[in-house]
Amino acid sequence: MTHRVVVAGAVVDRGRLLAARRSAPPELAGRWELPGGKREPGETGPQALVRELREELGVEAEPDERIPGEWPLKPGYVLQVWTARLVSGEPRPLEDHDELRWLHRHELDTVNWLDQDRPAVAEVARRLPPSPEPPLP
């Protein structure tokens, strides 16, 4: 049985990971994810990621490496994740999201990630630089 691939981007900029809060569908609303979407026929994973980040966030991004592994979503779908860097644009929640946050490594557990995104977020966390020192009070 072939699975439909959903791509997601671990978009990193200045040592921070971009998190996107779902606004739809209702069962996922309010949970956080790595942004992305379904790969279309004839697209490679990286091509799909570039298109999805343009549609969902209004940015140009460059995929880097694929995070090892893939994670089951709803029946017939699997999630594949790539690290990516911003090339141009400032991310905005254009489709399926109502809020975006840039998170340093020590902040990654401050949002309620979708279960299937957690393994990839944990892997990306290992690649992020140590968090900056918090400012003194």
pLDDT under 70: residue ranges of the chain: 1, 131-137
Q: Which of 123, 102, 128 is nearest to 35 (CA)?
A: 102
pLDDT at 37: 94
What ranges do the domains of the chain cover? 4-123
- pTM of model > 0.85: yes
pLDDT at 128: 86
Q: How do residues 98-137 score in pLDDT, each as one tens digit?
A: 999 999 999 999 999 999 999 999 999 998 888 666 555 6
CA distance 109 to 106: 7
Question: Which residue in the block uniquely carries the two structure tokens 């399926």?
Answer: 96
Assign domain 4-123 to a CATH class: alpha beta
pLDDT at 127: 87
> In the beta sheet, which residues pair with residue 7?
37, 80
